[in-house]
Amino acid sequence: MIRKSTNLLLTRTLSNCLQYAIKKKNVGLAELVQVIINTTHLEQSCHFLEEFISNITNVPPDTMNATKLYGTSTFKDARHAAEAEIYTSLNAKIDQFLQLADNDWMSSAQGSGNLTTSDYLVDLIAFLRSTFSVFTNLPGKVAQTACMSACKHISTSLMQLLLNPEVRQISIGALHQLNVDLKECESFARASPVAGFQGDTLLLAFSDLRQERMKSECFQTFL
């Protein structure tokens, strides 16, 4: 009965509380990081709960009729939900910055020497640096996945802007500005904002955008 009641506490009450904390509106990235840290610790501590119940009931956990505790799966499911929410929330925040982009596709600038990185991108990269500094307490794979996902999302979003069918014409000046912005993204990736990436792995997130920009510039030069 103690084991069954504990399972109800874990799989219903506690699980519902964790899901509410993860899915609530405007949940912050820092809160999600804390949920992952806490559930990881709780998952690793489940054997202590198992020992405690065995001691007060004098029934070993490997006894044939002993009900298995579901704490490990409860905390693991909550952690995976928090991880997925981090990726979703991070991309949503990136979209907010990208919506501030004011691309002048007919810019008359002829060279990239005097151009500076777009303001929205400067703010976006500053946000990402600050965010990923908090991710140092996360399991390495989660932090790396979040970072790669963010870089791919930026690259894909910029590619969509470049290939937008409503943009009928793009000047060479606009392509120079895109090149400056892309270099800033590549510099961010090259700096390894999250530990654990091998070589230039993170740079690959921007490779397709780099190729598409070069193709567009070659086309403009030909014209």
Q: What is the pLDDT of residues 7-57, one digit of tens each?
A: 888 888 888 898 888 988 888 888 999 999 999 998 888 889 888 988 888
Model pLDDT for residues 64-90, shown as the tens digit of each residue: 667 788 888 889 999 999 999 999 999
Tell me the backbone φ, ψ of residue 139, rounded to 5 degrees. Answer: -55, 140
Residue 112's pLDDT band (cuts 50, 70, 90): low
In the chain, the N- to C-terminal Cα span, in Å, equals 80
Angle 172-190/207-222 helices, nearest 10 degrees?
Answer: 160
Span 131-139, mean pLDDT?
A: 85
* Euclidean distance between CA atoms 40 and 160, whole angstroms: 37
Judged against a pLDDT cut of 50, whether residue 204 lies above it is answered with yes
The rounded percent of the chain whose pLDDT value lies above 70 is 93
Q: For the whole model, what pTM was predicted?
A: 0.81
Angle 119-134/172-190 helices, nearest 10 degrees?
Answer: 10
Nearest to 150 by CA among 124, 181, 175: 124
Residue 125's pLDDT band (cuts 50, 70, 90): very high
* Euclidean distance between CA atoms 75 and 2, whole angstroms: 19
Judged against a pLDDT cut of 70, whether residue 151 lies above it is answered with yes
Most confident residue range from 54-68, 101-115, 162-176, 177-191: 177-191
Instruction: Report how far apart, in Å, the C-alpha atoms of 9 and of each of 60, 100, 162 are.
Output: 21, 46, 52
Most confident residue range from 10-19, 137-146, 147-156: 147-156
So what's the pLDDT on residue 220?
A: 55
The rounded percent of the chain whose pLDDT value lies above 90 is 36
Judged against a pLDDT cut of 70, whether residue 121 lies above it is answered with yes
